[in-house]
Amino acid sequence: MYFEATLAEKARKFFRLVLGRAAYPPRDITIEITTRCGRGCAVCFRGPLGVAPADMPRETFLKVLAAVREGYGGGGPRYLNFVGLGEPFCHPQLAEFLRLAAERFPGTELNLSTGLVPFDREGFAALVRGRVINRLSVSLDGPEPGGNFHSFSEEARANLEFLAGLKKSEPGFKIRVQTLITSRAAVLAAARLAAGAGADELQLMRVDLHAFAGTPPVTRPGFAEERSIVAEASALAASLGLRCRNNNAYNFFMDLASGFDRRCLISDDHIFVNAQGDALPCFFLRDVKSGNLASQPLAALTAGREKFYGRQAGLCRACDIYKRRHAGGPA
């Protein structure tokens, strides 16, 4: 969440990345409560990574929350994100989990990511009105049905319209639309849909295909075209009253901190907790574990998190989700 950070926080992040240090306690924590999803998008990483459908058990979730709370001395992280290689609304205990997290971390911003299919409208509205959820991030890759990306549907459209109405009655609730940079037309259409839904922010995400090992189901725009799309979408978003952000364009200091794409920009202050409670660097590196929060304290992860800096050159060479340039060269 670099964009919301203060100048002092950005400075500390810079030095952590340069020195290969891990923030303790981590500022940004993601919990993958499920790896189930019925949409079958061709670009989903579950297939090539061999991720089986699974729900995080309630007992595991409570242990993870307890470890985080203890690590913060009774407090909590700035952000707690519910996202991963699954649709959170597929977990039968989602609402209960969110309420449990809100009770334990009243000062933490809870962010839920969804593709809006399935989506429990009334249950979600109750969470918003109860001040449980701070922000909903909606994955939306254009208004066309079908295709290999996050496909659109009339169900998704109806749920967007519902969110627009909810936003009017609950203006403090934030909506972020995140869209893959698949084509100029799709990105611009997603910006317009985001504005129509009352979104506050448009997040432009690079299409990353390295999990498919040379046989991706889709292609992506070249680097120059991608940057042109980002520029045009940013201008359109501004005209529609939306903030527009992109994880591949920060500033010179973050370029320097990353060693110009040699270090991942989330290495220092983020952990990803999978459905089994394992702490990973990110959703992709399923076998790179710094510990398990269902059985270990948060502090026990620090050594493994810092050791990861030395492994990135090999493990992350082909990934460019957070890099300034495309992996493998300037194209």
Q: Does residue 47 fall inside a structural domain?
A: yes
Query: Which residues, at least 6 apart from 121, have a Cβ–Cβ distance to it below 8 Å?
Result: 159, 162
Per-residue pLDDT of the chain (331 residues; tens, 9 = 90+): 567 778 898 899 999 999 999 999 999 999 999 999 988 888 889 999 999 999 999 999 999 999 999 999 998 999 999 999 999 999 999 999 999 999 999 999 999 999 999 999 999 999 999 999 999 999 998 787 877 787 788 999 999 999 999 999 999 999 999 999 999 999 999 999 999 999 999 999 999 989 888 788 888 999 999 999 999 999 999 999 999 999 998 888 889 989 999 899 999 999 999 999 999 999 999 999 999 999 999 999 999 999 999 999 889 999 999 999 998 544 3
Q: Does residue 52 fall inside a structural domain?
A: yes
Which two three-digit tokens encode residue 258? 């990353």
Q: Does residue 166 fall inside a structural domain?
A: yes
Q: How far is CA 16 from CA 26, 215, 268, 323, in A?
A: 12, 36, 6, 17
Q: Does residue 321 fall inside a structural domain?
A: no
Q: Beta strand pairing status for 79-82 and 28-31?
A: parallel
Q: What is the DSSP letter of 34?
A: B
What pLDDT score does 328 carry?
A: 59
Q: Does residue 325 fall inside a structural domain?
A: no
Q: Beta strand pairing status for 243-246 and 28-31?
A: unpaired
Q: How far is CA 9 from CA 6, 23, 256, in A?
A: 5, 11, 16
Q: Does residue 169 fall inside a structural domain?
A: yes
Are 53 and 164 in contact, with CB atoms under 8 Å apart? no
Four-point Cα dihedral 41, 42, 44, 50, nearest 10: 120
3-state secondary structure of 259: coil
Whole-structure pTM value = 0.93
**Looking at residue 145, which CATH number applies to its domain?**
3.20.20.70
Angle between helices 94-104 and 58-71 (to 10 degrees): 20
Q: Does residue 322 fall inside a structural domain?
A: no
Domain that holds residue 109: 2-316
Angle between helices 121-129 and 94-104 (to 10 degrees): 10
Q: Does residue 327 fall inside a structural domain?
A: no
Query: How many independent structural domains does the chain possess?
Result: 1
Q: Tell me the C-alpha distance between 328 and 331, whole Å.
A: 8
Are 82 and 107 in contact, with CB atoms under 8 Å apart? no
